[in-house]
Structure 1
Amino acid sequence: MAEGKKPTLERGLSPRHVEMIALGGTIGTGLFLGAGSSISIAGPSILIVYMVTGLFMFWMMRALGELLLTDTSQTTFIAFIEKYLGKRTGFVIGWTYWIGWITIAMAELTAAGLYMKFWFPSVPVWVWELIFLAVLYGVNVIAVGLFGEMEFWFAMIKIIAIIAMIITGIIMLLGHVKTSAGVTQVSNLWNHGFVAFHGHKLLAAFQMVFFAFLGIEFVGMTAAEAKNPLKTIPKSINNIIYRILIFYIGALIAIMSIQPWTNYSANESPFVQVFAGIGITAAAGLINFVVLTAAASSLNSSLFATGRMLFALSGAKGYFGKLNRRNVPMNAINMSVVLIALAVLVNYLFPTNAFELITSVASAAFIIIYGTLMLAHVKYRKSTDFSTGEQLFKMPGAPFTDYLTILFLGGIFLILLSRQETQMTTILAIVWFIGMTTISFRVKKLA
């Protein structure tokens, strides 16, 4: 690298890598594990909740895509928040996004260890945590292309599981197959009532579905390392709406057609319940493997995201601004891995609910991150960058759709504040933002 030249990340992600990373961001453990709880709370009306939430998430991603294509060299979308909302806002949101992914990684690392106990109950959880972290750390520091390849296959396993669920539903519907709960038929969607219980529980479902979409913005971390971002980023973002319809809506329709929604338990994966109900005895093991893959995928993405975030927050300078010979921010990844490895210590010192508390704080914080991103897009549309620049990927309906999305995110935040289960964690998230804002006024370079 020439003297004084700013280090640049390797563009090692192919179009198929970016496609699968985007897809992996829209399919997580929220669908495989959380759908049972969502169905029990909302009934078949959960389909409407997914459609509404999916539409707002699509608009958020279109706003992100428009910003990304104005400067594809930016390592993260935080650069656009800083540009259009100021250095202080960029500072607060940047560090929040980094610590948010750290806590998500800690949660997924713990989950991976717990899932392995299904097959190896006598092996301590921390052993599996260290193994998973070591393997995925190696993947992330060797080359970005290897990361993309690993994420490609992680996402592929999730897709195969969902497609298998949908195909199973179609075959059973065509054959009117009888189960212990009755005949498989589409009318199961409304025969037992379309909306479950009371309105306040339906609002709680919005919060749970939003969490299922957490990480959808991850494709925004790949722009600086995609081989052809002007082509792959728009294509990946535009396909999100189809993925939501096929993978979320399609899978849920299949699940609730095979047997009435009233037969599903809130505390068990509906995928397990469906396959077990039709006599596939290995269902629990199969789904455990899929969920383990989903956790490993999220952990892999977390290592990628946190490394790039710390690299960006350093301004590509100093210790964390250095790249290794493969143009990977190894020092930044190392620091992130050290913090993520604290999951082993946290799980030893504190009970499980304390760890879940930290994760919930991160989830509440992501609502504010997404809302701030939308505000940055509004400011961009009012700037000379938009009026004089080339509009490569315009967000439909802006700024009206920006404001609607901000209102929706505000509504989700109010739901979090009003529910007893999430009230304390949401307040802690607010305290974090107040603290980081205070710190930002003490950092001279932000003046």
Structure 2
Amino acid sequence: MEFWFALIKIVAILSLIVAGVIMVATRFTSPDGHVAQVSNLWNNGGWFPNGIMGVVAGFQIAVFAFVGLELVGTTAAEARNPRKTLPRAINSVPVRILIFYVGALLAILMVTPWSSVDPGQSPFVSMFSLVGLAGAASVVNFVVLTSAMSSANAGVFSTSRMMFGLSAEGSAPRFFRYLSTAGVPARALGVTALVLLLTIPVLYAGDSIIAAFTLITTVAAQLFMFVWSMILVSYICYRRKHPQRHAASEYKMPGGLFMCVAVLVFFAFVVWTLTTEPETAAGLVSLPIWLAGLGIAWAFVRRTATHRQAFEWFKAEMEKPVDHAELER
């Protein structure tokens, strides 16, 4: 499902980029007199014509757009040959960002100068309308719908696996430890799907859909920056506790500890950007409340005998030496 959802999105973006390149090559002139050309990228006031804060505000929504990158690591347990496929998938991420995010943005701005972009209309709809695509709005709405389904699909997959993992190590109720005959954490999957329905009252609680969208994306960005930060901290602890394992690793993170610190500093910068706008500042307040609730739940769960037994078993399993030959088999 994720393959087909993603394919629709990829085809749409690549079509936009190809259309933009052709329009620039033929010096297409829009009905309002704008000529498609590379110089549109720096004309009309040059870079940052309204100051640097416009770029700062862009980080608020840009961070949310990258939610899900950690899924590359989550799928390791279910990949056929993770030692080969994971490095290839991870190395392709920067290339995909350059093509699908930066490439699409450049194509739009080369055809339509930034000062002429209508903020009330999707730039994708505008581009496809200029090309002459009949029903451009309907086509883009279909792509957006499948993209949302793709995001939800990935979220359901990752959340159910995380809940199962937490349950297996005793940090979540045993209820989520159940696996179906196909090896799927069915109970965790069902609860995850039910939680998705909580977005419906949020849509009706706010003044507008964009207000609800801003709130949800702000909360999501915060939560995932927290998750990413924990991954980085775990990596630092792993290197200190198991230097031999890290030295033997065939695929190491470039930059090592320095990159961990650099990324954590960047996350602090992004959190600051969320305080610069009233809409995102409101969502920022929710994170301490959520973490406090998790802390209380954790304090309750860790006192149970089930947690202690599961944690000791999990710790013993993690301390066992890795048999690479067995992994290959």
TM-score higher than 0.5:
yes
Superposed CA RMSD: 2.3
| Amino acid in the other structure paired with 1:336 | T
- Deviation of 1:316 (Å): 7.3
Q: Which runs of 5+ in 2 are unaligned?
A: 312-329
CA contact (8 A) 1:324 1:330 kept: yes
Choose between structure 1 and 2 for higher RCO, CA contacts under 8 A separated by at least 6 residues: 1
After the TM superposition, which residues 47-446 of structure 1 pair with which residues of structure 2 at under 5 Å, given as runs? Answer: 150-180=1-31, 181-192=33-44, 193-315=46-168, 318-344=174-200, 347=203, 352=209, 353=211, 357-386=215-244, 390-442=248-300, 443-444=302-303, 445=307
CA contact (8 A) 2:8 2:146 kept: yes
Whole-Å separation in 2 of the counterparts to 1:393 and 1:343: 39
**Greater radius of gyration (CA):** 2
Q: Which runs of 5+ in 1 are unaligned?
A: 1-149
Q: 1:404 to 1:349 in 2, by over 3 A?
A: closer
Whole-Å separation in 2 of the counterparts to 1:337 and 1:187: 47
Q: 1:197 to 1:350 in 2, by over 3 A?
A: closer
Q: 1:277 to 1:432 in 2, by over 3 A?
A: same
Q: 1:386 to 1:405 in 2, by over 3 A?
A: farther
CA contact (8 A) 1:323 1:329 kept: yes
| Amino acid in the other structure paired with 2:56 | L
Q: 1:196 to 1:434 in 2, by over 3 A?
A: farther
- Deviation of 1:342 (Å): 3.9
Identity of aligned residues (%): 38
Whole-Å separation in 2 of the counterparts to 1:220 and 1:408: 21
- Deviation of 1:387 (Å): 5.4
- Deviation of 1:384 (Å): 2.3
- Deviation of 1:389 (Å): 5.4
Q: Deviations over 1:71-94 (max 9, x none)?
A: xxxxxxxxxxxxxxxxxxxxxxxx
CA contact (8 A) 2:13 2:104 kept: yes
Whole-Å separation in 1 of the counterparts to 2:92 and 2:196: 32
Number of residue pairs the alignment of both structures matches: 298
Q: 1:208 to 1:257 in 2, by over 3 A?
A: same
| Amino acid in the other structure paired with 2:288 | I
| Amino acid in the other structure paired with 2:273 | I
